[in-house]
């Protein structure tokens, strides 16, 4: 199951160009975070990370940085 989730994420990266994907409010994109979590800690941990990011990530927001 772990490898199926990793293949799905990799195919997402190849099928949808980076410019067409929605922006993420986190520093590391959601797909990269879930990929790394699944690869290192296993399938169930990857699903929990996916569910957490799905619940908390709101695409379309832009981070503002204020310079002096």
Place of tokens 């160009």: 17
Query: Is residue 23 within 8 Å of 56, Cβ to Cβ?
Result: no
Structure tokens at 53: 């990011």
Q: What is the pLDDT of residues 23-36, one digit of tens each?
A: 666 777 888 899 99
Q: What is the pLDDT of residues 31-53, one digit of tens each?
A: 889 999 999 999 999 999 989 88
Q: What was the pLDDT predicted at 68?
A: 66
Q: What was the pLDDT predicted at 6?
A: 93
3-state secondary structure the chain: CHHHHHHHHHHHHHHCCCCCCCCCCCCCCHHHHHHHHHHHHCHHHHHHHHHHHHHHCCCCCCCCCCCC
């Amino acid at each position: 199951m772990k490898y199926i989730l990793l293949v799905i994420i990799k195919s997402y990266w190849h099928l949808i160009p980076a410019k067409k994907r929605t922006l993420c409010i986190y520093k590391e994109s959601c797909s990269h975070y879930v990929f790394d979590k699944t690869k290192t800690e296993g399938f169930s941990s990857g699903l929990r990370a996916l569910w957490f990011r799905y619940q908390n990530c709101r695409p379309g927001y832009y981070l503002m940085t204020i310079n002096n």
